[in-house]
A and B are shown apart, each in its own frame.
Chain A
């Protein structure tokens, strides 16, 4: 494909990912793009630490189910040379760049042979590093790499956007906001009462605590929400889905 064409395609795909409202929509978009670039078997996942399993970190599974079952049952993630390379590299890489020999890495070598049996002889992997040190990746496998360097660079940014969007949509159902802000149950209760117009004194009566204590909770919540006053506390709590 001429350069302009690939670039425009990447922009269009990114736009459709950003417009997606559900995780399965993103799955469909990624699946279609990956197939178009000849690497149909994709996986978007966090990278498990030693002792953890792959399945608890998977975000989007585009692998043949039989392969995924095999991979999990044998805990391949900790011996897979590709997975190991993710921990060593900050840049995307083709699987052919990863060195593993039959002699020195016999188990890894065997895994790659098995992957080839499932249609993943070649591949391209994009490592991801979060601000707090978490690791993830978007990895794509196929029978061979037909893509040019430009094509792969398009896959690179499409993968990053797909990961971010999928991760966000997956996390939407969690009580993530509350954990992020670390507001106590009491602080949330106080804010709810303020939102219906109660004074500190009234809230104290309702909850059976002194108004000084109520004030303390308001101050603590204000600090955690990074706001300056009482009215703002309510607005911010609403905005972040902590109260309704």
Chain B
């Protein structure tokens, strides 16, 4: 597949960052955290955070398509990433392999928030698309993943960041990383996130100097996943209870099967 020469910002959280209204918006997810091991079958339609991997992808065919469509809406239609343009209006690239982990926020049966985690031992964005963003050796290990394609449906944005879908998605990814034993998450994003992740209590390591893509600064960085920081993030963003659906491998704790 041809390489995209047109490099754009992966995680555009600027609009999220600029929301400044003091009104608090509480999450609609008010139920207790459900232990998936109690459930016979995954429930793709239940409101909450769903982790889709090759182990359970078969149950999420419709949601996966919704996720690719949401990505297209945000990254191609809104943010104009020409290189991702496709006739079928789905954003699917060469990194959407079976080893990719898809984090979906589902509400009312619809995918309203999404992020993708890629194993760094395989080709990923920093290693293959934006290597110039790395001024240090690219972190690559079995327990290091790259956080990509963070997006929230436009109609679910707005209002205070605290308690909304964007925050649920953020906390969902971090909580998942913690559960999975991921030690670091790398990302290419707006430098504003350096201070923000610091605020949440993460150790942040910029991997290179910021570069400007289409008038927006982008920096490669990694954050260390710690329970303390993940909890602090949830506390500060007022995400009390999260419904978490993961593939059964994680619930049963068979670590070798996960990575």
Contacts and interface: CB of A to CB of B under 8 A. Distances in A.
Contacts of A90: 14, 17-18, 190, 192
Interface string B211-245: 10001110100000000100110111100100000
A24 interface: no
B173 interface: no
B195 A160 contact: yes
B191 A164 contact: no
Interface stretch (B69-77, B144-152, B196-204): B196-204
Contacts of B217: 91-92, 153, 156
Contacts of B195: 128, 130, 160, 163-164
B206 interface: yes
Contacts of B135: 4, 7-8, 11
A180 B192 contact: no
B136 interface: yes
Given A157-B219, A226-B231, A239-B228, A131 B209 contact: no
Contact of B209 (A133, A154, A165, A180): A154
A181 interface: yes
A14 interface: yes
Interface string A111-153: 0000000000000000011111101000000000000001001
Interface string B9-53: 000001001111110000000000000000000000000000000
B187 interface: no
Contacts of B168: none
A157 B228 contact: no
A207 to B, nearest CB: 27
A243 interface: no
Contacts of A18: 203
A14 B206 contact: yes
Interface residues of A, number: 34
Interface string A167-181: 010000000000011
B18 A161 contact: no
For B191, B195, B199, which residue has the most chain A Cβ atoms within 10 angstroms? B195
B162 interface: yes
Given A153-B209, A163-B195, A133 B161 contact: yes
A26 interface: no
A6 interface: yes
A154 B210 CA distance: 8
Contact of B194 (A131, A161, A239): A161
Q: Which of A10, A160, A165 has the most CB of B within 10 A?
A: A160
Interface string A62-87: 00000000000000000000000000
Interface of B: 14, 17-22, 135-136, 160-162, 190-192, 194-196, 198-200, 203-204, 206, 208-211, 215-217, 219, 228, 231-232, 234-237, 240
Interface of A: 4, 6-8, 10-11, 14, 18, 90-92, 128-133, 135, 150, 153-154, 156-157, 160-161, 163-165, 168, 180-181, 223, 226, 239
16 contacts: A7-B208, A11-B136, A11-B206, A90-B190, A91-B216, A131-B196, A132-B161, A133-B20, A135-B20, A150-B209, A153-B210, A153-B211, A157-B191, A157-B194, A161-B198, A226-B231
Given A14-B206, A131-B199, A157-B194, 15 more contacts: A7-B135, A10-B206, A90-B17, A91-B216, A132-B160, A132-B161, A135-B20, A150-B209, A153-B209, A156-B191, A160-B194, A161-B194, A161-B206, A165-B198, A226-B234
